[in-house]
Structure 1
Amino acid sequence: MIDTLSAWFTRNPVAANLLMLLALAGGVFAIQTIRIEGFPALSPGSVTITTVNPGASARQVDQGISRKIEKSLEGMAGIKKISSFSEQNISTVWVQKASRFDLNRFQNEIQERVSSIADLPRQAERPSIRRDEFKVEALLVQIYGDADTATLQKVARNIKDELLAHPKITKIEPFGLLSPEIRIEVDNDRLQAENLSLGDIGAAIERSSLDYRMGSIESDNGRVVLRADSKAAGFRDYAALPLMTLSDGSTLLIGDVADVVGGFAEENRFARFQRQPSVGLQIYTSKKGHLLEVSEAAHQVVDNIRHQLPDNIKVDIWGEYAGYMKTRLSLLAANFMWGLLIVFSLLAVFLNLRLAFWVAMGIPISLAGTLMLMGDRFFGYSLNEITTFGMIIVLGILVDDAVVVGESVFASRRKINNPVEGTIHGVKQVSTATIFGSLTTVAAFLPLLLIDNDLGKLFAGFSVVVVIALLLSLVESKLILPAHLAAIRINTAQPSKRSISRIWQRIQFLANTFLSFANQTIYQPALQRTLRHRYAAILILLTLALCSISIISNGWVRTVFFPEVPGQTISVTLEMVGGSPLSLTHTNIDAIEQAATELNSEVEAELHTKAPPLAKIMTAMTGPLTALIFAELQPEDKRQLKTMETLARWRKKVGVLEGVESLSFSGSLESTGGFDIELDSRDEAVLESAATHFAKSLAKLDGVSDIRDDIKQGKPQIRLKLKPAARHLGLTAEDLAQQIGDGFGGLEVQRVPRDGEEVRVFIKYKKQRRRYTEDLLKIRIQTEKGQWIPLSSVASIKTGSTPSVVLRQNGRRVASIHASLDKKIIGPSEAFKWIEEHIKPEFKQLYPGVNIRGA
């Protein structure tokens, strides 16, 4: 069949040319329209349920929300795994679906089951259920400067709105952008003097600041709308609301007993860029977005708005993936040109100049067809890190068939005078060999398409590109190439009269003489000897194969799925010991930033350069005990200090910091992976002990460092419990919890819409009255009869700790242990093997209810 088709195209060169032009034209059109991404966007395979419960601890969130959601999903079809993450105020439940299960049905059933939960906490908001769309980072826009918080936040919101107004930018995730709020900070002594509670203030606000339905007057002249409601909008409006009427007839306003402040949420978080206050905007490409277009759009918006900014505020773009992809595409283009040149040169020397040209044309024709088929009109793939890697790999394989066909046609044409028949004969001679050669190579890459997990889906693009290119190369060598070879005159009998041609013919003669000599004196004798001693040859081959396997299995050659590839950024992760003061976290962050500044100055003086190794530094304090620092290095062509050397010098300058639980530096790409182990158990105390024991055991392994687990000591906690005698005063546990929780945590009374956002209105004690334990002990509790009783008289006080996060997986408590590996010493597979041999046997005896598995 294929021989008949090849012969028909050989005899009808117009058809072959049309097929070639179709592939080339399709490739040219595709390269102009195909999406470019940093990383391939995976189809969503999970659903996340997020529930906000203001003022609740991690344990309360776990028991009151996360476990109930997990319980409601028991027995549901299509669930592969359920993980929950409970922290203060927020429950996050992640539900992964089984492969090939319909995602719409999966999400709808989750929605129905979660909506049917009737006993969620009263103050909890409605659960938000969304599918997890894969997000691909494009770049970061950083707004920073020595400006007050209100100005910086306003400018950042304006820039965010301008970016989202551009049609090419659809996804932005801000960090350092604070939630606006109005705080009514009450003077507790004044409340007692007026015999008022926080609830009384809240009730007064609800009476005076409200939205209510309208009325209307219908008359002959038309309809007149009536409204008598009034809603406070700003902090001054709330301060002017009436609280109560005094005995002398005057009105006591809320502003008389409280400081009403319009500002932002009180959080132990901040973001800095170049050591100045900042707000960051992480821009993502959408599933059908074009990385280079998104990058160009962001630069355009920032350039337009930069001159409108106040003098003390700057805006910068960093962390761009577009630059990396441009480098990758340039590498692909360079490999393409070199491959084309090498193939053409070698074939021109050993065979024929025109034949070499048409054989080499197999590369652009195959790649053009691949680009056309992999686009959104057919297979839906983009140019990204994975697919370009596939193209770079396949470049060296594409001309294999064409070279074999071209050499065979060249030999046949010397024996058969008719050029068409000689070409058809030459193609037919190697037809079976080339077809099966291509198909075996396709079979080697095809299994990547059959891996049914996220990693398999990720590398599917690599496999698809290689398979398409190989099949198109086979088609080109059988249908297009023969038609062009048939048109070539092969005549080496007549010497040329031109000097350049004579020189070229002399080069071809010497090359062919050398090739014939090598063939007759080295290759053929070696082949004959191997065939005579074929069993010995097979034995030698098997011996070499077994030696290779044993070298790997014995660890003489380490196996690493991803090598350590130095990246464009260095990341630093800081975790403080539980209970550390906030000031110590700030001090350590300053020390890390100062070490980076000193390193830059030192290297500039040492190398006599004005380009510091750490070009841009962004710091994010993500909680009272945690911080992340990212430093972007100079572009690779301007980098005078290697990534890992910069990292080592920075780390050395930081030294030992006080109160640090873990401090890790990473200069490798995130995809190079970490080393993660998960422990799970139903008993939280046993799991905590097991995690500590596991970490100590793992520390004995060479090449392992920065071992840390996510089971923390938790936050310090003061537990109040109502005394039995207090019940005789009419107090209940609810009264105690409300007065303490509202005063120190905040009572939310309203939400006011402003510029597309909701401004929350809270009532709480003044900040200076809720800073220390002594402030709590001075508090008095109001009874239902209006009496004010000292806290110590109505409640017992006990100190302890509460977990900062609670992790569960399939109903069991989970602890994740992460460690950094020096892959020059040990690889992940060796580390897992060591755990199997040295840690697991001991764990089965000490902790029989604890499971160990790779994350």
Structure 2
Amino acid sequence: MNGAIRWMIRNRVTANLLMVFILVAGSFGAISLRKQVFPEFSPELINISVAYPGASPIEVEEAIVVPTEAALESIDEVEEVNATASQSLAVVTAELRSGVDKQQVLDEVKSAIDRIRTFPVQIERPVVNLASPRSQVIQLVVSGNVGERALKVLAKEARDDLIALGAISDVQISGTRDYELSIEVSSDVLDAYGFSLSQLATIVRRESLELSGGEIETRDGRVLLRTQGRNQTAEDFRDIVVLAEANGTEVLLSDIATVTDGFANSDLAATFNGQRAVVVTAYRVGEESVLDVAEAVHTYVANFSARLPKGVTASVWQDQSIVLDGRLKLLIKNGILGLTLVLIALTLFLDLKLAAWTAIGIGISFIGAFALLAPLGVTMNTISLFGFILALGIVVDDAIVMGENIFAEREKGRSPLEAAEVGAIRIARPVVFAVLTTVVAFAPLLFIEGTLGRLLIDLPLVVITVLLLSLVEALFILPMHLSHDDPSSRTSNRFLVRINETRAQVDIILQKFISGPLTRGVRFSIFNPGVIMSGALASILICFGLIGGGRLPFSFLPSIQGETVVANLQMPPGTSVERTLEVIQKIEASVLRAGDRMAMDLPSDHPSPIQNLYSVVGGGGGGGGPGQTDTPRSSSSSRASLTVELPNPEVSAFTPLEFETAWRAELPELSGVRSFAITSDFFRVAEAIQVQLASADEQALKAASADVATELAQFSGVFDILTDDDRGEQEFQIDLRPDARTLSITLEDLANQVRGAFFGAEVQRLQRDGEEMPVYIRLPESERDAVADLLVFRVSTPGGARAPLDQVATISLGSTPTSITRREGERIVSVTADADESVVTTDEVNRQLERVVLPMLSERHPGVSFGLSGERAEQDDTFASLGRGFMLALLGIFALLAIPLNSYIQPLVIMSAIPFGIIGALIGHAIIGVPVGLFSLFGIIGLTGVVVNDTLVFMDFVNAEKARGLVLEDALLNAARQRFRPIFLTSLTTFLGISPLIFERSIQAQFLAPTAVSLGFGILFATLLIMVVVPALAVTEDRIVRWFKRRRTMAVEGAAAAEVFSSAGT
């Protein structure tokens, strides 16, 4: 390596070409880098969805879920199976083991599903696919006081137009029901014509088909045969002849039935600002750009709006490009501000040329990093930009140490070229190992398991890449640039002269501090190591005691707020859509009141607190966020959501959380509501508080979940307590009477006739506007909208007779859950809650649950298993993988220290400084007032590398001084005097580089503040640590080593004396 450094210094062209190559490669990499709000990752999940029209959740569970779970048991690569059975739909999710070939497992799962022979014939074809993140970019809302069909046609036109643009590959329509053609015939008409419903369905099927008839081979060629009579429209079906009399009279389907071309009878309705709406959502796919997709939609909407009919409007909604642009601009602004502060510090404390080339080195490292990050799959997002900001201060450390050493050699009278060679080669080894220790310190973040690990992996990738490139720049480019004379020292430019004068004054002040307070402090540490060590240990105990005692709060994950506030409503099962709509309208009125109240306290030019309102009855709402996937779910008249769009955070005077609080204050008493929750989070990795219960005993599960909810309500600050324990929806359970078999009625006949009459018998499937459109024949709504209709329903016998239902079957009233959740073959219930962090942290609640509440409930409900999931489970998994990685990193750091120091003891001395650096990080949290959490640990991990880095350079200088013949005490004093400026400057630049984020008030970046606080304040404290505690540690280590040597010498001398005495005696 020494030869390579010397060669690069003497070959100016080579060093410059290397610099240019890095800049050019990085520029090309930056161009190809995609922009996202958060990193995307592909979940290691396989989704299996099976539609079973008309089936209850229990039927879905027994007929689809249980056989599917059994089929997946034999696949070793599947780690866990979760399932949900709801009305007409089964969704089974297979979680795969880490690192498996997902495509191969997908093929195995498809084969396993295809081998199931017990699925009911009424199911639709199972859909099996790998879960993929849906990167929603923007939504176009078509709204107006017109019919649903008109809105859906316009939305379909917009979807097709957007796809035709070429810039967008995936566009979906939501907020509207599926098409359906319904044939309704009354039972009296059926009786009059002697038809049963199933007979009429068979006639319709036979009169609507298209069938190939083969081919005829003629002399002139082949002619295909096809019988064509497939009906496509309601008019086609009305003209079907269902009965032909002998006298030529024909009875058409329209004579006996009502044929309606409409929508499926599902409870789904969406409104936008009070008007009926259909939503067109554009997604980003592959290499498509968020900004390009959003721009294409904005451009299209301007033209689309001009041709809309009167009373219909097209609005842009949920534009993630605004979120992306705002967050990236905010972080770039903080990065530029941090860089400016770093440059000012470098200019004040370093030679102007060194400061300039150190600053240029930052740019080389950052731009060059893009060349490596693009192939690694890193995108330009909130996390990766934060990684650059973290690296901003750290990246100059090696350049400062290298440059300082070169200029120290120049001050000894060497020529610039000789000083560059001697200084660079002298410090190269400790600089290399110092950077590598920082890289190793960040390495554990690469191996965090679970959702969080995949979300945050860009952070260590960016930091490590930038650090490695900065090392290349410091070793092979910077020394060459410092090997030439500095013309700025002889310049007559008034500005440069003024800078040099200012730097000289700063240097005088710094030298006075070094020769005065610093020297006295180091001397005190050297001669009173016991006092220093005792004080440092006491500080550590106090800081960790503050966390353990709750004085310094701990919160695993910070809240990441978005630009919307979402409310989710769940009414009791079976609630009519009219009642649900009534409640959601009350909630909507309350949010409007909250907006009006907030507007009174805002400036007159402030945007309206409520930009848009979007509500859905018959479906749940939710946020977005990285890694989220679309899973099918059935509609329900008891479920609704309301989404409020707030002003852009860049111009808003309030936060989403403040709006959420104001909204809660305006909420009326919501009677008869099963659950209601409001959230302003952009997304959540997991529920803040979640208890999962499992048992084979359904009643025990219900009782235990109720007790969990009651216990959670006892915590002050805990709110939105929800349970998915389904108390069920009423159902009539029909069983065939034994004597009904004398009428030749089978259970299958009975089930099919009841299903056909009340749900409908499917007779055909049509294609319309790219979606399947089923055709059902059933009784009219007036004969299936009351309990009495079931009681008077008549069952057809094979002989043509009609018997009342209660004569051939027993009818009993029971209940069925509206959804069933299963995990690993067992039914489970989850109880979730949120916490007001200003009152109680989620960690405090989860600890109390784990230590007190759940053990107590386990004794009360012995047949039920309790477990914490959600954020606590994610926390345990993350800390476990982070802990393993950190231990390996410590071993790696030890090895990297032992090699250049050629010692087993000195690495331990250096590494024992790590806990003391944490003190500064914790003090910083107390000063700024942010809880300690996962992101704080990321900063502490980075701090570990920097502390070891600076301490290594310090101890390397001590060893060099000892090699010159100085005693330890003098070597430590010299090292403190000589290395204080580079160590202080590296600490100062690191703090200044991330200080804008520490004090950033914007909600868009506050979740990153704990990392910046840990690293920033920790590194400031590290300067004092290295100058005071490390000398005390070194002296203590020296005394211990010398004590062991004396004991060993005494033992050897004693053995020798004993041998002499023994010889004399003989």
TM-score of the pair, normalised by structure 1: 0.95
State which of 540, 553, 556 in structure 1 corresponds to 2:551. 556
Structure 1 stretch 533-542 or stretch 614-623: which is displaced more?
A: 533-542
Given that residues 408 and 427 in structure 1 are in contact (C-alpha distance below 8 angstroms), is that contact kept between their aligned partners in structure 2?
yes
Of residues 501-510 and 567-576 in structure 1, the stretch that sits farther from structure 2 once superposed is 501-510
Q: Secondary structure at the match of 2:265?
A: coil
Name the counterpart of 1:649: 662
Aligned to 1:358: 357
Q: How far off its partner does 1:85 sit? A: 1.0
Alignment of 1:587-598 (within 5 A): 587-598=582-593
Moved more, 520-529 or 557-566: 557-566
- CA deviations 1:527-551 (Å, max 9, x no partner) are 1211222233223222212222221
Q: CA deviation at 1:322?
A: 1.6
CA RMSD of aligned residues (A): 2.1
Alpha carbons of structure 1 residues 560 and 438: separation in structure 2 relative to 1, 3 Å: same
Output aligned runs, 1:223-302, within 5 Å: 224-246=223-245, 248-302=247-301
The one-letter amino acid paired with 1:537 is: I
Q: Against the structure 1 CA distance between its residues 415 and 823, is the aligned structure 2 distance closer, same or farther, given a 3 Å change threshold?
A: same
* Aligned counterpart, 2:730: 716
* Of 432, 443, 446, the match for 2:443: 446
Match 1:617 to one of 613, 618, 625 = 613
Q: Secondary structure at the match of 2:798?
A: coil
The answer to whether the 8 Å contact 2:82/2:824 transfers is yes
Aligned counterpart for 1:578 among listed residues 565, 569, 573: 573
Match of 2:522 in 1: 527
**Alpha-carbon distance in structure 2 between the residues aligned to 1:309 and 1:225:** 45
Query: Aligned partners of 1:82, 1:499: CA distance in 2, in Å?
Result: 73
Q: Deviation at 1:428?
A: 2.9
Residue 557 of structure 1, CA deviation = 1.6
State whether structure 2 residue 408 is matched by structure 1 residue 395.
Answer: no
The answer as to whether partners of 1:50 and 1:128 remain within 8 angstroms in 2 is yes
| Aligned mates of 1:12, 1:452 — CA distance in 2 | 46
Partner of 1:109: 108
Residue 605 of structure 1: how far off its partner (Å): 5.1
Is 1:732 the counterpart of 2:727? The answer is: no
1:630 matched to which residue of 2? 643
The answer to whether the aligner puts 1:405 opposite 2:405 as a matched pair is no
**Are the aligned partners of 1:295 and 1:322 in contact in 2 as well (CA < 8 Å)?**
yes
Is 1:547 paired with 2:546?
no
Instruction: Specify which of 783, 803, 808 is matched with residue 794 of structure 1.
Output: 808
**CA–CA separation in structure 2 for the residues paired with 1:804 and 1:498:** 81
Q: Are 1:807 and 2:802 counterparts?
A: no
Report deviation, 1:368: 0.4
Q: Which residue of 2 aligns with 1:433?
A: 430
Q: Is the 8 A contact 2:212 2:225 kept in 1?
A: no
- State the AA in 2 paired with 1:839: V
Q: Which residue of 1 aligns with 2:371?
A: 372
Aligned to 1:81: 80
The aligned residue for residue 689 of structure 1 is 703
**Identity within the alignment, %:** 30
Q: Secondary structure at the match of 1:192?
A: helix
Q: Which position in structure 1 is the counterpart of 2:48?
A: 49
For the Cα contact (< 8 Å) 1:613–1:634, is it kept in 2?
yes
Pairs within 5 Å for 1:69-218: 69-216=68-215, 218=217
One-letter amino acid matched to 1:6: I
Q: CA deviation at 1:754?
A: 2.8
Which residue identity does 2:674 align to in structure 1?
E
**1:274-323 deviation line (CA, Å, top 9, x unaligned):** 11111123332224332222222222333332322222222222212222
CA distance 1:758–1:418, shift in 2 (3 Å): same
Indicate how the Cα distance of structure 1 residues 583 and 78 shifts in structure 2: closer, same or farther if over 3 A, else same.
Answer: same
Question: Which residues of structure 1 form unaligned runs of 5+?
Answer: none
Q: Is the 8 A contact 2:339 2:392 kept in 1?
A: no
Greater shift after overlay, 83-92 or 766-775? Answer: 766-775
Higher alpha-carbon deviation: 135-144 or 333-342: 333-342
Q: Aligned-pair distance for 1:104?
A: 2.1
Given that 1:37 and 1:289 are in contact with CA atoms closer than 8 Å, whether structure 2 keeps it comes out as: no
Q: Tell me by how many angstroms 1:609 deviates.
A: 4.9
| Deviation of the 1:822 alpha carbon | 1.1
How far 1:467 sits from its partner (Å)?
Answer: 0.7
- Deviations 1:385-426 (CA, angstroms, capped at 9, x unpaired): 221221122212111211222222222212233211101222
C-alpha deviations, 1:343-393, integer Å up to 9, x for none? Answer: 332232333222211111121111101111100xx2122112221221122
Task: Supply the AA of the counterpart residue of 1:342.
Answer: L
What is the one-letter code of the residue matched to 1:715? E
Supply the AA of the counterpart residue of 2:410. Answer: R
**1:244 positional shift:** 1.2
Contact preservation (8 Å) 2:564, 2:645: yes
The answer as to whether partners of 1:343 and 1:356 remain within 8 angstroms in 2 is no
SS at match of 1:670: coil
Give the direction of change, closer, same or farther, for the CA distance of 1:523–1:429 in structure 2 (3 Å limit): farther
Give the counterpart letter for 1:588 in structure 2: V
Cα distance in 1, alignment partners of residues 482 and 649 from structure 2: 45
Deviation (angstroms), 1:23: 1.7
Pairwise CA distance, 1:499: 5.0
| Structure 1 match to 2:852 | 838
- Opposite residue 711 of structure 2, the aligned amino acid is S
8 Å Cα contact 1:599-1:649 kept in structure 2: yes
Q: Secondary structure at the match of 1:268?
A: coil
**SS in structure 2 opposite 1:671?**
coil
- The CA distance in 1 between the partners of 2:162 and 2:95, in whole Å, is 33
* Aligned counterpart, 1:417: 414
Decide whether the 8 Å contact of 1:240 with 1:255 is kept in 2.
yes
2:26 partner amino acid: G
> Secondary structure, in 3 states, of the residue corresponding to 1:205?
helix
SS at match of 1:839: helix
Alpha-carbon contact 1:603-1:612 (below 8 Å) kept: no
Comparing both structures, which one devotes a greater share of its residues to strand?
A: 1
The answer to whether the 8 A contact 2:58-2:817 is kept is yes
Letter in 2 for 1:429: R
Residues 1:21 and 2:20 are matched in the alignment: yes
Q: CA deviation at 1:768?
A: 2.1
Deviation of the 1:40 alpha carbon: 1.7
Secondary structure of 1:462 counterpart:
helix
**Residues 413 and 764 of structure 1: CA distance in aligned 2, closer, same or farther (over 3 Å):** same
Greater mean deviation of Cα atoms: 257-266 or 169-178: 169-178
Q: Which amino acid aligns with 2:667?
A: V
Structure 2 gap segments, 5+ residues each: 620-635, 871-1066
2: distance between equivalents of 1:432 and 1:702? Answer: 57
**Partners of 1:563 and 1:823 within 8 A in 2:** no
Tell me the TM-score normalised to structure 2 length. Answer: 0.77
The amino acid across from 1:293 in the alignment is D
User: Which residue of 2 is the match for residue 761 of structure 1?
Assistant: 775
1-side partners of 2:643 and 2:298: how far apart?
A: 21
Match for residue 771 of structure 1 among 771, 785, 790: 785
Could you tell me how far apart the structure 2 residues matched to 1:572 and 1:491 are? 63
Distance of 1:227 and 1:94 partners within structure 2:
43
C-alpha distance in structure 2 between counterparts of 1:204 and 1:502, whole Å: 101
Letter in 1 for 2:593: E
Deviation at 1:687, TM superposition (A): 1.7
User: Aligned-pair distance for 1:190?
Assistant: 0.9
* Aligned counterpart, 2:456: 459
Describe the shift of the 1:644–1:46 C-alpha distance in structure 2 as closer, same or farther (beyond 3 A): closer
